[in-house]
Structure 1
Amino acid sequence: MLSPLSNRTYRHLFGAQVVALAGTGLLTVALGLLAYDLAGADAGAVLGTALAIKMVAYVGIAPVVGAFADRLPRRAFLVATDLVRAAVALCLPFVTEPWQVYLLVFVLQSASAAFTPTFQATIPDVLPDETEYTKALSLARLAYDLESLASPALAAALLAVVSYHDLFAGTMIGFMGSALMVVTARLPDPKAVDHRGGIHDRITRGIRIYLKTPRLLGLLALNGAVAAAGAMVIVNTVVLVRGTLGGTDSDVAAVLAAYGAGSMAVAFLLPRLLERLSTRRVMLAGGWLLAVGTLVMAAILGGGGLPAHLPAALPSLLPVWFVLGAANSAVLTPSGRLLRRSAHSEDRPAVFAAQFALSHACWLVAYPLAGWLGSGAGLAAAFAVLGTLAATSVALAARLWPTGDPVEVEHVHGPLGHEHLHVHDEHHQHGHEGWEGPEPHAHPHRHGPIRHTHALVIDRHHSEWPRGG
């Protein structure tokens, strides 16, 4: 699984991801302590608002950036967003009011919404071989999981010798380190694209490609299942362990560690597993496990099957969290393969941005739903509702994502007239008058009707997915 690291460019990008994640982990801890300093007992409201602002930034900013990412030099753009995030981290220790936190969080998360999809869309160009790219996806998942486990421990060790304000300096160093790793990598620039149409057309291009591709519609439904089950883990683990079972902060960390361990175990297995099983089968299986694990917790809590004290409850709790973590990884880790298959390289930034925005829109719904139901109706009811939502989402995914899902699809083009950059290929066979210039060139031209088979993606020549394809 480590073979992608032999590629110098990917090795630098992976290093950038790791150090940026370490900085982000320190930021999470420091923000919680800052919120408590500013608001005391109302710190939860401050953090909740900051989390909502983060999701709004992700949903709103990513498609806009994805629309114009093909016009920007990737390396300079990624470095600039890292520097913005570092500058915000440097400002955070000096805030004195919650509104200042909200403003800075919005700026920082807007920069993250610009950085992450562009970064993700670069990896398929650096690693064009699907096997190597699959291994890179697993490495990325391991990095995320290790960050979730290691960052709290690192923060705790640092807090033993420094104040929490110094954690923001660690965050800044993480983002500066990421910028340094990116600036030393040789990144392929996106291909020049001639997208006729206005700003609205460019901003919505990624989402239009996404919503017209059946396998990506299935991915969107699976995103709903991931958010439903994941929100219960993230929002209500502390409520269950501390409130219901009377555990400690260390117990919360141990239960979340089981979730991370499940995710890492699957990330290790996926490269070989995906050589034997289809991506669709693996991801749907992960989705069903998410739904089942969440509903099992509802049954345990509703039936009084969980012991009242934590030590006796752990044999029931830890396996469920391990399975939920494994299922989460089975769905999320291969998703990049679907995005890579579903767009031309020049459209990938927009499609990755669409995935980033739409998946976080699911979280924007699931987070408050998990919190409100957990506090208002009880944890058993919350697990039941979110588990049912996850199961419904997976069933919808199985229906939207066709069985087989071939790469090459036989389809018919009707007659079409338009203008765009092109070279003479199977789509473009027409006469010239001499003024059109060297290829690629743009001029009005017409396509006659044609039936053929090739790897199909939504683009200028394929505005709709063929029925039955």
Structure 2
Amino acid sequence: MSTSQFTSLFQHRDYLRLFTAQVSALFGTGLTTVALGLLAYELAGAAAGAVLGTALTIKMLVYVTVAPVVAAFAHRLPRRPFLVALNAVRGAIVLGLPFIDQIWQIYLLIAILQTASAAFTPTYQAIIPDILPDERDYTRALSAAQLAATMETLLSPMLAAAALTLISFHWLFVGTAIGFAVSAALVLATRIPGPATGAAGSFRERITVGLRIFAATPRLRGLLGLNLVVAAAGSMIMVNTVNYVRDTLGGTQSGVAMLLAANGFGTLLVAMALPRLLDRTGARPVMLTGAATLVLGLGAAIALSTAGAGDWRWSAALTIWLLIGAGTAAILTPTGQLLRRSARPADRPALFAAQFSLSHLAWLISYPVAGWLTAAAGFTLTWITLIGLAGAGFAVAQRMWPRRDPEQLTHLHAVGTIDPARLRDAERVDATHYRHTHPYVIDVDHPRWPTARQLAAAA
């Protein structure tokens, strides 16, 4: 979005407070992720990767299962008290993390913490259309939410890196708790109306509509592959950085933060450069280039893992971590645009919720590989496995997402299969068909994507 669009959106005071509450909570969660890796190393040493992999697997399992259910029931919840309670739970949990001394306690607290986080996001998303009834504002809010999530990925490691030069990682948990407290205070200051309308359809329909759109839309099937590429490369960064720095490079907690900051800096650079490029090229070439960059970064990491000792490895690692950050931004930054393009306004919340769950499902696959396999077989075999996952996701994206992917499609409707009022601008081509041209998305009137033969017949 342009600066003027942001300014217009943030003139809505209640939305600004709620958005700031979400950003504060996101950055708190990001700091926890960095601190959790260092805590796992303190408790488990060389087995920290397995511990962190298990903890993050629990996180993804909770996200995949809890978020869709909460999204389906979000219209029935007492939303402001619920959001405040979720922030209170998260704040209490992170304050307890520095005092634990058993690995099983990490798993228990992470399960509770991430259950609250998985419930927060869909509840927040369900409030936005009631605060911003104007369709243009709501669309911009979806973009802002996607941008906030991306910026958290970029900036949290950099903020943690700066903090760790001055304080112990235990204090990052305090920073996280402050973030959740600020989020709760902002929610309390926000006027949150009751749902404008009840959600239509059964529980099953509400929970699956986004998944059906994903399954039927070629570009979104490609996005599924790209989610796997991001998760494969990202799990190497999130799970293996601590052990690689401490055990292989002989670094300290500041070294861990430095590599994570390099990753975030690479993401930030690309995210800032992308808007103009996307206007010229569209999303597909940018996102596929990002996927190729991630595969290249994993390949370079494998080469580094087999190299001999030397101070040069720090420079090489910084370059590789930065490269992976850049590739991640090239995929994540256009994702919101891709989702908005692929659904009617009424279906966009369900589609964003589906992306939330499906992207975390990819992490659910890659986190155990990065954690458990590293503990059993070392970095080289683990990263070879991860590059295999990334390569498979890249191949899926290339195959499923057509090179030619126009927004508007000329297609045929059989007479009697659609409300004639929707065909006022259509052309009658024969006794049984209308020809229609408009932005094509999966909905009640268009339950399937037209085949190449059907498009040729309509041309």
TM, length-normalised to structure 2 = 0.80
Structure 2 residue aligned with 1:441? none
Contact (CA 8 Å) 2:283, 2:334: kept in 1 or not? yes
Q: Deviations over 1:264-317 (max 9, x none)?
A: 101111222222220111111111111112113324444x3xx512x3223322
Structure 1 residue aligned with 2:181? 176
Structure 2 residue aligned with 1:327? 327
Most deviating of 50-59 and 63-72? 63-72
Structure 2 residue aligned with 1:381? 381
1:154 and 1:412 map into 2 onto residues whose CA distance is: 59
Structure 2 residue aligned with 1:65? 70
**Residue of 143, 148, 154 corresponding to 2:157:** 148
Contact (CA 8 Å) 1:411, 1:451: kept in 2 or not? yes
Structure 2 residue aligned with 1:202? 206
Structure 2 residue aligned with 1:435? none
1:136 and 1:280 map into 2 onto residues whose CA distance is: 21
Q: CA deviation at 1:86?
A: 3.6
2:408 and 2:285 map into 1 onto residues whose CA distance is: 19
Structure 1 residue aligned with 2:447? 463
1:231 aligns with 2:232: no
Most deviating of 459-468 and 13-22? 13-22
Correspondences of 1:193-342 after superposition (within 5 Å): 195-196=200-201, 198-302=202-306, 304=307, 307-309=308-310, 311-342=311-342
Structure 1 residue runs without a partner (length 5+): 429-447
Structure 1 residue aligned with 2:427? none
Letter in 2 for 1:332: L
Q: CA deviation at 1:39?
A: 7.7
Letter in 2 for 1:426: R
Contact (CA 8 Å) 1:62, 1:354: kept in 2 or not? no
Identical aligned pairs, as a percentage? Answer: 49
Structure 1 residue aligned with 2:11? 8
CA 1:174–1:324: 2 relative to 1, 3 Å = same
1:132 and 1:271 map into 2 onto residues whose CA distance is: 17
Most deviating of 28-37 and 83-92? 28-37
Letter in 1 for 2:64: V
Letter in 2 for 1:109: Q
Most deviating of 379-388 and 352-361? 379-388
1:128 aligns with 2:146: no
Contact (CA 8 Å) 2:270, 2:326: kept in 1 or not? yes
Contact (CA 8 Å) 2:86, 2:116: kept in 1 or not? yes
CA 1:44–1:342: 2 relative to 1, 3 Å = same
Letter in 2 for 1:238: V
1:17 aligns with 2:22: yes
Letter in 1 for 2:442: I
Please state whether the residue corresponding to 1:458 is helix, strand or coil.
Answer: coil
TM, length-normalised to structure 1 = 0.79
Please state whether the residue corresponding to 1:461 is helix, strand or coil.
Answer: coil
Letter in 1 for 2:136: P
Please state whether the residue corresponding to 1:462 is helix, strand or coil.
Answer: coil
What is the aligned-residue RMSD (CA, Å)? 3.8
Q: Deviations over 1:365-401 (max 9, x none)?
A: 1112223443444433333332233123112202111
Most deviating of 25-34 and 252-261? 25-34
1:92 and 1:300 map into 2 onto residues whose CA distance is: 33
Q: CA deviation at 1:427?
A: 6.3
1:74 and 1:104 map into 2 onto residues whose CA distance is: 24
CA 1:416–1:246: 2 relative to 1, 3 Å = farther
CA 1:74–1:224: 2 relative to 1, 3 Å = same
1:135 and 1:276 map into 2 onto residues whose CA distance is: 21
Q: CA deviation at 1:140?
A: 4.4
1:56 aligns with 2:75: no
Please state whether the residue corresponding to 2:422 is helix, strand or coil.
Answer: coil
Contact (CA 8 Å) 1:29, 1:155: kept in 2 or not? no
Q: CA deviation at 1:23?
A: 2.5
Letter in 2 for 1:247: G
Contact (CA 8 Å) 1:238, 1:252: kept in 2 or not? yes
* Larger helix fraction of residues: 2
Letter in 2 for 1:52: T
1:453 aligns with 2:437: yes
Q: CA deviation at 1:458?
A: 1.7
Contact (CA 8 Å) 2:46, 2:243: kept in 1 or not? no
Contact (CA 8 Å) 2:267, 2:327: kept in 1 or not? yes
Q: CA deviation at 1:67?
A: 2.4
1:111 aligns with 2:95: no
Please state whether the residue corresponding to 1:308 is helix, strand or coil.
Answer: coil
1:316 and 1:96 map into 2 onto residues whose CA distance is: 35
Q: CA deviation at 1:460?
A: 2.1
2:377 and 2:99 map into 1 onto residues whose CA distance is: 39
Q: Deviations over 1:316-361 (max 9, x none)?
A: 2222221111110110111111111222233222211211111111
Contact (CA 8 Å) 1:89, 1:171: kept in 2 or not? yes
Q: CA deviation at 1:176?
A: 2.8
Letter in 2 for 1:454: H
CA 1:47–1:322: 2 relative to 1, 3 Å = closer
Most deviating of 354-363 and 5-14? 5-14
1:143 and 1:168 map into 2 onto residues whose CA distance is: 16
Most deviating of 342-351 and 100-109? 100-109
2:280 and 2:379 map into 1 onto residues whose CA distance is: 38
CA 1:347–1:373: 2 relative to 1, 3 Å = same
Contact (CA 8 Å) 2:32, 2:172: kept in 1 or not? yes
Q: CA deviation at 1:174?
A: 1.6
